[in-house]
Structures are given as C-alpha cells and as structure tokens.
Amino acid sequence: MSLSADEVKKIAYLARISIKEENIHAYAENLSGILDLVAQMDAVNTDNVKPMAHPQEMIQRLREDKVTEVNQREQFQRNAPATEVGLYLVPKVIE
Amino acid sequence: MAWETVIGLEIHAQLATKSKIFSGASIAYGAEPNTQACVVDLALPGVLPVLNKRALEMAVKFGLAIGADVPRVSIFARKNYFYPDLPQGYQISQFDLPVVGKGYLDIPLESGGTKRVGVTRAHLEQDAGKSLHEDFQGLTGIDLNRAGTPLLEIVSEPEISNAKEAVAYMKKIHALVQYLQICDGNMQEGSFRCDANVSVRPVGQKEFGTRAEVKNLNSFRFVEKAINHEVERQIDLIESGQKIVQETRLYDPDKNETRSMRSKEEANDYRYFPCPDLLPVIVSDELKEQIRADLPELPEAKCQRFIDELGLSEKDALGLSAQRDIAEYFEVVAEGSGEVKLSANWVMGELSASLNREDIAVADCPVSAELLAGLVQRIADKTISGKIAKGIFTAMWDGGGDADSIIESKGLKQITDTGAITAMVAEVIANNPSQAEQYRAGKEQLIGFFVGQVMKASKGKANPAQVNQELVKLLKA
Amino acid sequence: MHKKSLAELSALLSSGETSSVELTRYFLDRIAMYDGDINSFVTVTEEQALQSAAQADKMIADGKAQVLTGIPLAQKDIFCTQDVRTACGSKMLDNFIAPYNATVVEKLNATGMPMLGKLNMDEFAMGSSNETSFYGAVKNPWDLERVPGGSSGGSAAAVAAGLAPIATGTDTGGSIRQPASLTGLSGLKPTYGRVSRWGMIAFASSLDQAGMLAHSAEDCALLLQGIAGFDEKDSTSVDRAVPDYSADLNKPLKGLKVGLPKEYFGEGLDSKVGAIIDEAIAEYQRLGAEMIEISLPNTHLAVPAYYVIAPAECSSNLSRYDGVRYGYRCEDPKDLSDMYERSRGEAFGYEVKRRIMMGAYALSSGYYDAYYLKAQKIRRLISADFEDAFSQVDVIMGPTAPTTAFKLGEKADDPITMYLSDIYTIAVNLAGLPAMSIPAGLADGLPVGLQLIGNYFDEAGLLNVAHQFQQSTDWHRQSPAAYN
C-alpha cells in the first residue's frame, strides 16, 4: 500500500498538522511502510470474531449527580496562551 | 411541478442534572465565563470521564415515555473534529448503540386527528462550549461553562411533511421532556434546541431529495419560518435548473434566511470510534422497571382521563394537560372546590393570564391551588359573583389572604336577599322611566342596561341572575 | 546508599541511621554529578523534594511512617504533578504547569515519598529508544553511546545509574519492560485497570498502564502496594481488593508451570540474548519449575494490530493539544486553521505526527473496518491465545526484547525496525495482562531482560516468580561500572 502526496496532505489536514512540502515524501514513505506492516492482518479471517475495545470485560460505573468542583479559573488560565475577561481567545471563528 | 417536503428533526435537550455528564462541575446557567469548567471540561492532559448516573436515568425515562426500545447495552463513542469550543477535539456521543432505540410520538394535525412520527433514536452526548464573536481585537472568546453539559439528542424519522408538523412535533417533545422533568425546556437559554434536515422531491418520487441541515433553531417560530424558507429556496433552485448541495446551513432570524456554514463543511469525517475511556453502559431490567414505575402520568393519558373522568371538553382537557405543572395545579383546584368546569375556566383564564403577564412559573405563583379552590367554591355557592371574584383573585395575588377573609374584610358578599334586590330593581326602574317605557314597548335588549344599573347601584354585589329575574318581573308587571 | 533496596532504606530511616532529608540530598547530589551525561531528568524539583523529605522525617518521628515513607523517587514526566511542569517529553507542553496531581502522584505524596524530579521520556510515550523526546535523547548508563530503551527511558537510566532508588513508568506497548531489559532493571507493568490512569497523560487509553522500574522485584512489590487500587475518577479502574504484594515473595517455585511460547524464540531473536534466556530458564528448572512449550499463534499479528489501535487512540487523545487552553501556540496565527495546523505541526515531533496521521487514517471514512475494526478483532484473537495458555500454565516466559541496547541513532530513521523492538511486549498490552522484565544476564557487557507474563491480576504471582530468581542469582545487583 502506497500513499500519494495528496493523501498525505489530506490526512495531515484531517489531523490539523502542518507539514512542510519537503517532508511530504518522507511521511508518505513512512506511513506506507506502516500500512504494509499492518496489512499482515488481512491474512487472517476474522469474520466471526467480536471486536475487543477494552482489555477487561467490565461495565461502566456511574457517578452520583453531585457538584464537586469549584471555580479555579484563575489557576487554569495561567497556562493559557491568550485570555481576556475570563475567556480563552482564539483567531476569529467564522461560521 | 408539485413538490413534497421531507423533514427530520434533531432535537437537543439539555438534561436537568446538577452536574455535567462526565464531571462534577455545575451546569447552572449564567455563571461568569469559564468558572464552571473544571479540569475534565477543559480537557487538561490526563483527565478522564465518569458517567453521571442521573443523566443516564433521564435518557432511559425519555425512552420509556415514547415507547422506545431501551437496549441493555449502549456504547459511548468519540466524534472527532476540531473546534475551539470543543476542548477534547472530540465530542463524546453515541453512535452505533444509543441508549434509546426506536420509538414514536403522535402529533396533533391542524386538520384535526393525529399523525404518528417515528423517533429513530435518542442518545446521550456532551454539549460544547460557546464561542463569543464580539470583537476582542478581532479575536473570538471561548467560554467553556457549557462544555460537558449533558444533552439528549432526539432524532426523528424523516416523516415530517411540513413546517407546521415540525412545530407540532417539537412542541410535543418540548412538553414531554418537561413533563418528565428531564429538561427545563428553556429555549432562550438554549436548553432546548433543534436542527432540521430538510429536503424536497417531486410528489410521487420514492427517493429523498438532497437534504440541507438547518441549524440554530431555538424557537418554535424560527423552526416554522426557517423550514418554510428552506423549502422555498430548494424548490426555487431546482426549478431554475440548479442542484441542492448537501450542507449545513445557519438560520438567520433577523433576515429570515438560511446561509451556508462553510466552516462546518471543510471536513466532516468525524472518525467515530468507541471511547476507550468509557466502558459499555448497562441498563438493567431492574433499573428500567424502577424508572418505569416512577414515570408520571403522561400528557395523553392525563388528557384522556380529564375527558373520561372529569367530563371536561376535549379542548379544555388538551389545554390543561399540555403542561405538567398546570395540570397538577388544576387537579388540586378541581378537587378542593368540587367544581371541575369552573376550575378549568379559572386555571386557563385568570391564572394563566396572570402567570404570563408576570412571566413566572406555576411553582412561583403567589396564589396557591388551595387558595384558588377556595375562591372557586365561593363563586359556585354564589357568595360572590364572577366579577367580584376577579377582584378577589387580584387581592390574593397581592398577598391578601384567602377568599373568605377578603370577602369578609371588604364586605364583598353577594346580595341574594330577594327583598333587597327587589327594592334596588324598583328604584332603578323608577329612576329611568323612559327606558322602562321603551322596554315595555318591545325593546327588550334594554334589559342589559337595567342589569348594569342595578349592579352599579349594588357595587357589583347583587346576584346577577336574581337581578335579571326581578327586572323582568317588575318591568313586565 | 544508591545500591540499597527500598526495604534496606526503609530500615535505615526507621532506625534513624539516616533521615529522609539526608537521603534525598544524597540522590540530588548524584543527579547533579551524573545526569549531565545521561539526561534522564527534565526537571529536578530540589526545593520541593527537600521540603517533602523534612515532612517525611516528621512522619517518621511521629510514628506515622509506612514502609515507603521518606524514600525519594522520581516520576516519569507523563504524570501530572501539581505546580510542577509536566511536559510529557513534548515541546507542546514545555510550558504546561499541571494544576492537579495524578492519582499515582497523590498516593505516593501521601505516603511521604519525596519527588526528586520529573524524568525524560519519548514524546507522549511514543518511542522505544527515548530519542523522540523534545528534551533530547537519554543515554544508557551501561554505554553512553546506546539507548536506554523507551518510552520510560529516563526512568530506566535514572534508576540504573543510581540517581533515584526507584522510578515510575508507563507501559503502552513495552515502555516499562523494554527499557528495564536494556538497563538491567526489574520493571513491572500491572494488569490494565490495576493502577489509576487519572492524571497520567494518555497515549492509547485502552493500553496505557502505570508501573515502575526498580532494582528488584521486592522493590517493585513495595511500590506497587503504594500505587495500586481502585480510583473512582478512572472508569477503567478495577474495583478489586489489593493483596499484600510482598506476602508471597518467598513462596517456593516447586511445581510452577511455566509456558515457553515457541513464537518468542524464533527468527529475529539475537542468539546471545537467546542463550541468556535459555540459561535463565534452566535456573528456573533448578528452582523446581516445570517448562511447557506453548504456542501463542497470533503473536506475529500483535505489532500490526497495535500500530492501528495505538495510533487510532492517540490521534484522538492528542486532539486536545490545539493551542487554545494550554500548551504551545504558534506565533501570529493568520486564522483559526493556521493556529491549529502550525501549533500542532511545530510542537509535535515526527514520531508523534506520524502516529497521529496513521491513526487519523485508520479511523477515516472508508478505512475504519479494514483497519480499526480488523485490529480490534485481532486483539480478541491475541487475548484468546493468552487465555488458552493460562489454562495450562501459571506464568509465561521469554525474552523481553530481541536484542540488547542498540546504538543511538541506529533505528531512529526507520520506524518499522524500531517498532519491531517491541515485538515480544506488545501482545501483553493488547490483552491487558500484567508482565515484568527482570535482568537475566549480560551479553557483551549489556543487560538482557527476561520477560514474565502473568494472568490477570496475578501481580503477586509474577513478583514471587521474579523474586525467587533474584534470590538465587545476582544479575539484578549488577550496575554500570561508571556509576558504582
């Protein structure tokens, strides 16, 4: 399996990762290599196998509906690149 | 060419829990920005979700109320996309196995009768935050207080045929979620909102036309206007030889038009997969039965009972059963007063008008159902007239106490003594000889004038029926 | 002092022969002296460590000490530590000061273990050599030209060089066991769900598990006691009683049934490594264990399935790093999309970007069934292989890694070769089983690890099997000469 430059660009966009034009070829090659490795799975018939999402056959535990958190905005926003009047700022969102 | 419209609605109801669906932060509306966004809501590195039990129970409750299949196992999945008000970069939602399966609702049609609309599914998911587009030096502000608020997304089958039906369906769900007390239904605050998938096709065509999803429909009026506009737009496009693009469109209530949301179109490959941080959710038969046992009487059943057992007209029964708090209030008034029809008139009339005028909920109504029952009783036993009763109701609203003490202190007791009424009637006739003459000459509609004069003389306290009777007797004598 | 076991240190502390402050100072001095070459720490929290040590001394004086109280440790920089930078080996989080503690950190703080600092690691735990770290490669104390393994390479190097008595690690595909193998340490990856993942920065949520790297199985048992247990903040944490992990250490191994999967001894295994593993097996036979050849027929599918599942989960888990609320944001983004793409493009390293892209592809429309769903089915087959095996045997043994430590840069440009260095460890994560690596000998002066795989929640059994070996051999006491 070999990925084209366009496919690499499409995946990079889907993942919102900018990649330099000169690196596209290397990504295409690496990713194609991984896909070849992964292709070994095709040799096995798994028609009647149930997919396994978790290592343990457990069920979801439920939380009581209680408010346990207090306002820590000031502390949290110390890590933020840009804030104003308590809001996180980002480049203009156009809807 | 004749066109047919196909509509499917996706309703988002915010569940009335105390805390968020996967964290212990409050969901109370109106807090300062980002003061109710905890480490989980902010998607800090290393945080994990745990499901809110109440949110699950509310979803099950809804499922049972619409006769839906509530499967034993449901799964949370991640819907991956980038948006600044979506902190995780994915929304935890449900995809393959939602908590509520197929159900249905019967909606009233304008032409009379009802139509059954299928509910495809309802699933739990987390709400996103809010983007504030006011200008912060050309930037957008992000408030994540709403991020993680539990939502129940209710998806209808594409079985709705026009805007009016869409509104009827939405109103039905709106009433139901409030009945079940799983959503406050507040549309201004965004607790109940709707997206509409709209398409048109030539009458008789089997395949659906290309659909557009219209977002941001946060009032019944907007739903109707937006759908009508969208249908018109699509027909115009097709008739002028153009194609409908499958896309998301935003309704602009100011301009009454929909416009394309290109930003949402860029990449809608959501890459759903089971959320590895959450395990399969089990709704046991016991839990289902427990929730079923706690289900309130639903609007339809209540309406039918009002007709069958209380003898109300269909119109009154429908009106009174639409809102749970009103219905329960009415039942207390009717029971306390023993007067079904009169109670219905008062609840739908004076009480509803006052609540609307003051914009308050039944729970906050200053006139309790017990107080109103006392008033209705006094009307029924003719202690007071309906007109006097309105004044007493106003006094009760302002905190004047119960009907009896207001009647007593203000001397409002109705005059029913035949002697006193005969005297007043005689005096009024004597004071208006020419009108009396005309009446006797056949202008019988003047009776109203005489009743008015007597009521005025009695300061409204004379029993109108008796006054009428006496007037006829004396005038014809 | 740096060669003493945790039990010995604990005894010295409780007898008053040393204090926690002294001990902490001792290790801080060693870090200052040796870590310049090794690069195992990314943050040294000297002041905080000494304060905690003083508190620990008070706990000891007040008679409130537990076994671990006062013994310093170092944390892999994947665990959130309140008010201390938690960077996870990435430029993305270079400026991130965690506002909360991971459950593992919280528990160890509460027992009074001073934290010496945060340890270097492969970026977001993605790597097998510790070369993908934003903070530079970690060197193997046994040979500074070689890698210590990864992703818990900083943890391995720090303990191997005696810069910390013990360190935490995490293991998603071998990230504790492989570095333990390459640096001559005992490393334990517990059963999935045994240790809380709260506050442990996620790589692949259904595979990640916290554990430790130490000088001996006995030390592992003590630290596991400190971190194991149910946590209501982690939905995948298992609500199950925690046994006394030290209680069975001395149980004789007579009659122990050991499974030797033939797939772990085939092509690809370095012959010198193979010979040392054979010798370790012979030692177990002398200890009374019975060797049974078994088959784990889907072993060859573990790496392929893993390189779908782990990237798929990571592509989603790492979407939160968008430059909005914390972490790196590119300079002067021209619009929203530019902010996302450049922030992520500039702050993630190649391996992380590769895996995110691989995962996004595997989940994308039209490929989901062929990749993600298929891999989940293979995962079931692999898990079933182990289930079959554990119906016959008590523990499974084999090599941890196919080779000893390789040279820095040797595999850095070839992701596939790098991925294959985890060929024996990955299946365990897919199944969620507990496993250890313990030192079994030296090949050309470099450590070789023996892997022990146990049944679900049988950490105590694994530790017993490892400890008995360490009672009759002294490979675990070997240390790199330069740091004696």
Chains interfacing with A (3 or more CB pairs < 8 Å)? B, C
Q: Which of B429, B419, B424 is nearest to B450 (CA)?
A: B429
Query: Which chain A residue's Cα is nearest to B261?
Result: A95
The predicted structure's pLDDT at residue B266 = 52
Q: Is C151 a catalytic residue?
A: yes
The predicted structure's pLDDT at residue B406 = 87
CA C62 to chain centre: 34
Segment B88-115 shows an average pLDDT of: 94
Instruction: Classify burial at B149, counting beta carbons within 10 Å of its beta carbon; exposed 0-12, middle 13-18, buried 19 or more.
Output: buried
The one-letter code for the residue type at A23 is N
Q: Is the pLDDT of residue B465 over 60?
A: yes
Tally of domains within chain A: 1
Query: Which chain B residue's Cα is nearest to C81?
Result: B46
For B357-382, what is each residue's pLDDT tens digit? Answer: 988 888 889 999 999 999 999 898 88
Please judge whether C431 and A41 are an interchain contact, meaning their C-beta atoms are less than 8 angstroms apart: no
Q: Is the pLDDT of residue C132 over 70?
A: yes
* CATH code of the domain covering residue A30: 1.10.20
pLDDT band of residue B133 (cuts 50, 70, 90) is confident
Looking at beta carbons, which residues of chain B come within 8 Å of A58?
279
CA B96 to chain centre: 31
Q: Is the pLDDT of residue C142 over 60?
A: yes
Residue A14 within any structural domain of the chain? yes
In the sheet that C290-294 helps form, which strands lie side by side, from edge to edge?
C41-44, C115-119, C73-76, C167-171, C209-214, C186-189, C435-443, C446-454, C395-399, C257-261, C290-294
User: Domain range spanning residue A34?
Assistant: 5-43
Residue C456 within any structural domain of the chain? no
Q: Is C316 a catalytic residue?
A: no
Q: How far is B279 from chain C (nearest CA, A)?
A: 7
Q: Is C272 a catalytic residue?
A: no
Q: Does residue B131 share a domain with residue B20?
A: yes
The predicted structure's pLDDT at residue C29 = 98
For C229-247, what is each residue's pLDDT tens digit? Answer: 999 999 999 999 999 999 9
Please judge whether B82 and C322 are an interchain contact, meaning their C-beta atoms are less than 8 angstroms apart: yes
Nearest beta carbon to residue A40 from set C99, C300, C336: C300
* CATH code of the domain covering residue C17: 3.90.1300.10
Please judge whether B80 and C316 are an interchain contact, meaning their C-beta atoms are less than 8 angstroms apart: yes
Q: What CA–CA distance (Å, rounded) separates C128 from C145?
A: 16
Residue B443 within any structural domain of the chain? yes
Looking at beta carbons, which residues of chain C come within 8 Å of A27?
353-354, 357
Nearest beta carbon to residue B50 from set C197, C232, C364: C232
The predicted structure's pLDDT at residue A95 = 61
Q: Does residue B433 share a domain with residue B389?
A: no
Least confident of B172-181, B393-402, C31-40, C359-368: B393-402
Q: Flag whether residue C329 sits within 8 Å of chain A, measured between CB atoms.
A: yes
Q: Does residue B343 share a domain with residue B229?
A: no
The length of chain A in residues reads: 95
Please judge whether C235 and B87 are an interchain contact, meaning their C-beta atoms are less than 8 angstroms apart: no
The predicted structure's pLDDT at residue B144 = 98
The predicted structure's pLDDT at residue B353 = 92
The predicted structure's pLDDT at residue B412 = 75
Please judge whether A16 and C324 are an interchain contact, meaning their C-beta atoms are less than 8 angstroms apart: no
Please judge whether B19 and A77 are an interchain contact, meaning their C-beta atoms are less than 8 angstroms apart: no
Segment B136-144 shows an average pLDDT of: 90
Residue B306 within any structural domain of the chain? yes
Task: List the catalytic residue out of C4, C20, C40, C76.
Answer: C76
Average pLDDT over chain C, rounded to an integer? 97
Task: List the catalytic residue out of C40, C90, C129, C151.
Answer: C151
Position of tokens 């290109």? Answer: B262
Distances (CA, A) of B135 to A82, A94, B139, C245: 14, 12, 6, 60
The predicted structure's pLDDT at residue A26 = 94
Q: What CA–CA distance (Å, rounded) separates C343 from C144?
A: 33
For C277-314, what is each residue's pLDDT tens digit? Answer: 999 999 999 999 999 999 999 999 999 999 999 999 99
CB pairs under 8 A between A and B: 124
Residue A22 within any structural domain of the chain? yes
pLDDT band of residue B459 (cuts 50, 70, 90) is confident
Q: Is the pLDDT of residue B265 over 70?
A: no
Q: Is the pLDDT of residue B263 over 60?
A: no
Q: Does residue B92 share a domain with residue B180?
A: yes
Nearest beta carbon to residue A53 from set B36, B132, B276: B276
The predicted structure's pLDDT at residue C64 = 95
CB pairs under 8 A between B and C: 99
Please judge whether A60 and B281 are an interchain contact, meaning their C-beta atoms are less than 8 angstroms apart: yes
Q: Which residues pair with A2 in a beta bridge?
A: none
Q: Does residue B338 share a domain with residue B456?
A: no
Residue A20 within any structural domain of the chain? yes
Q: Does residue B234 share a domain with residue B86?
A: yes
Q: What CA–CA distance (Å, rounded) separates B88 from B124?
A: 17
Average pLDDT over chain B, rounded to an integer? 92
Q: Is the pLDDT of residue B472 over 90?
A: no
pLDDT band of residue C318 (cuts 50, 70, 90) is very high
The predicted structure's pLDDT at residue B445 = 87
Please judge whether A64 and B276 are an interchain contact, meaning their C-beta atoms are less than 8 angstroms apart: no
Residue A12 within any structural domain of the chain? yes
Tally of domains within chain B: 3
Please judge whether C339 and A90 are an interchain contact, meaning their C-beta atoms are less than 8 angstroms apart: yes
Q: How far is A26 from chain B (nearest CA, A)?
A: 24
Q: Does residue B281 share a domain with residue B155?
A: yes
Least confident of B99-113, B188-202, B295-309, B412-426: B412-426
For A41-94, what is each residue's pLDDT tens digit? Answer: 999 999 999 999 999 889 999 999 999 999 999 999 999 999 999 999 999 987
The predicted structure's pLDDT at residue B230 = 95
Please judge whether B279 and A86 are an interchain contact, meaning their C-beta atoms are less than 8 angstroms apart: no
Residue C466 within any structural domain of the chain? no
Looking at beta carbons, which residues of chain C come within 8 Å of B78?
316
Q: How far is B151 from chain A (nearest CA, A)?
A: 15
Does ipTM surpass 0.85 in this model? yes
In the sheet that B273-274 helps form, which strands lie side by side, from edge to edge?
B90-93, B77-80, B273-274
Nearest beta carbon to residue B84 from set C86, C236, C336: C336
User: Domain range spanning residue B373?
Assistant: 297-410
User: Domain range spanning residue C61?
Assistant: 6-255
Task: List the catalytic residue out of C10, C19, C175, C246.
Answer: C175
Contact C67, C222 (CB under 8 A): yes
Here the tokens at position B106 are 């019967």
Residue A31 within any structural domain of the chain? yes
Q: Please, which residues 144-173 of chain B have a Cβ atom closer than 8 Å to chain C?
A: 144
Residues 6 or more apart from C263 whose CB is under 8 A from it?
A: C295, C296, C297, C299, C300
pLDDT band of residue B267 (cuts 50, 70, 90) is low
Q: Does residue B370 share a domain with residue B283?
A: no
Interface residue of B23, B133, B140 to substitute, partner A, most A CBs within 10 Å: B140
Residue C162 within any structural domain of the chain? yes
